[in-house]
Amino acid sequence: MEALVCRKLGDPAETEPGSEESPVVVSKNQPIPPLDSDTAGRATSLNYANYLQIQGKYQEKPPLPFVPGSDYSGTVDAVGPSVTKFRPGDRVCSFAALGSFAQFIVADQSHLFPVPDGCDMVAAAALPVAFGTSHVAIVHRAPLTSTQVLLVLGAAGGVGLAAVQIGKACGATVIAVARGAEKVRLLKSMGMDHVVDLGSENVILSVKEFLKKKKLKGVDVLYDPVGGKLTKEAMKLLNWGAQILVIGFASGEIPVIPANIALVKNWTVHGLYWGSYRIHQPDVLEDSTRELLSWLSRGLITIHISHTHTLSQANLAFAALKDRKAIGKVMLVLDHKISPTSKL
């Protein structure tokens, strides 16, 4: 099978896969792993965590060489003798710790989710991690209500665009922060209550003016995948009793949340490492993914994909993340024919 293999640590955005300097190479002769359920990967999602992992900057550091990748969709190609829930041809999606940047991926049947009829398969591949992270954060960790104000930083990124939609689905007032006219236009078209363009506006002044106009006291839930200076500014907008969701540090800077102010203002700080739920609370991930697939099939959420590439163009996909050009999701599509004689 064909797969993108990380052979050394480095920046995959800077060189074409397979070049002498590149940390990744497209291998066309990777063995198909023989396990219980085999899924032909039609599409896989590129997440910022995958980019960090190839550089050796993520909290999980697998031994080299490895095939990166997490969430994916595809059709079941073959099943093992103990598989009862799926059969060849079924449309499924899921997520893995590693391995989705490949034509085939192996998964236990308990980890697979049926993709409802009418759902686009590429969109389904983009759903589990980005939307799953935002859904667990906003619905389970800091349960958002219709009377609250949600402030989303990095709102045009993968998890950010998911967060603003989930916030609206919860009925909350949603304030989105992004940079650039194209991103702002998209967020406004999605019905956000207020959008701040960091390229031309001061986030504190803009949000305070909106809150005053709407006679709202402040922000109740801060969704933060950015970190750095922007987190410090956003904290000035928080209500007493507010909740802070620490999602990631796309800015490259880990913010300092002053414990004395958290004490005085009764803030709650939630660290949200979505992947660890598979170990500690897998039922939460399963319920979350099923609900999101239902929302997707009913049109309550939409998957915005700004870049789609093949494995051989992986450097372009990673560059879209690195250069902040991605709006929503970046996808790798593996449109290969699968042999019906593949054996497990």
| pLDDT tens column, 310-325 | 888 999 999 998 888 8
Task: Give the angle subtended at the CA of 81 by the CAs of 71 and 31, to the nearest 5°.
Answer: 50
Q: What is d(CA 159, CA 321) in angstroms, rounded to the nearest whole number?
A: 13
pLDDT > 90: what percent of the chain?
69
Cα 184 to chain center, whole Å? 20
Q: Which of 32 and 86 is assigned the larger pLDDT? A: 86
From the options 3.30.420.40, 3.90.180.10, 3.20.20.10, 3.40.50.1000, give the CATH code of 3-127+303-333: 3.90.180.10
How far apart are the C-alpha atoms of 340 and 338, rounded to whole Å? 6
- Whether 341 has a pLDDT exceeding 50, the answer reads no
Mean pLDDT across the stretch 52-58?
93
Region 87-104 average pLDDT:
91
308 within 8 A of 333, measured Cβ to Cβ: yes
The predicted pLDDT at position 340 comes to 28
Domain boundaries, the chain: 3-127+303-333, 130-275
338 confidence band (pLDDT: 50, 70, 90): very low
Residue pLDDT, tens place only, 323-335: 888 899 999 988 5
| Predicted local confidence at residue 29, as pLDDT | 82
Q: Do 304 and 186 meet the contact criterion of CB atoms below 8 Å apart?
A: yes
Residue 30 pLDDT: 85
Q: What order do you get walking across the sheet with 149-152 strand by strand?
A: 194-197, 173-178, 149-152, 219-224, 238-246, 268-271
| Residues 6+ positions from 211 with CB-CB distance below 8 Å | 149, 217, 218, 219, 237
CA dist 298 → 8, 119, 134 (Å): 43, 9, 19
Alpha-carbon distances, residue 118 vs 91, 111, 144, 294, 330 (angstroms): 11, 21, 29, 11, 21
pLDDT at 344 over 60: no
pLDDT value at position 32?
A: 78
Classified by CATH at the fold level, domain 130-275 comes out as Rossmann fold (3.40.50)
Q: What is the pLDDT of residue 337?
A: 30
- Beta strand residue intervals within 146-277, DSSP E: 149-152, 173-178, 194-197, 219-224, 238-246, 268-271
Mean predicted confidence (pLDDT) in 259-277: 95
User: What mean pLDDT comes out for the span 36-62?
Assistant: 82
**Among 256, 179, 173, which Cα is nearest to 221's?**
173
Tokens, residue 304: 């915005």
**Where are any strands of DSSP class E within 128-280?**
149-152, 173-178, 194-197, 219-224, 238-246, 268-271
Report the alpha-carbon distance of residue 70 to residue 92 in Å, rounded: 14
- Residue 41, pLDDT score: 57
d(CA 198, CA 196): 6
Mean pLDDT to the nearest integer, 38-64: 85
The model's pLDDT over 25-45, given as tens digits with 9 standing for 90+, comes to 998 888 877 654 555 556 899
- The pLDDT score that the predictor gives to residue 38 is 55
* Mean pLDDT of the 240-246 span: 98
Q: What is the tens place of the pLDDT at every residue in 138-158? A: 999 999 999 999 999 999 999
- What is the chain's mean pLDDT, rounded? 90
Q: What is the pLDDT of residue 342?
A: 27
Q: Return d(Cα 316, Cα 310) in angstroms, integer.
A: 9
Give the pLDDT score at 193.
98
Average of pLDDT values for 170-181?
Answer: 97
The reply to whether domains 3-127+303-333 and 130-275 share a CATH topology is no
35 vs 111: which has the higher pLDDT: 111
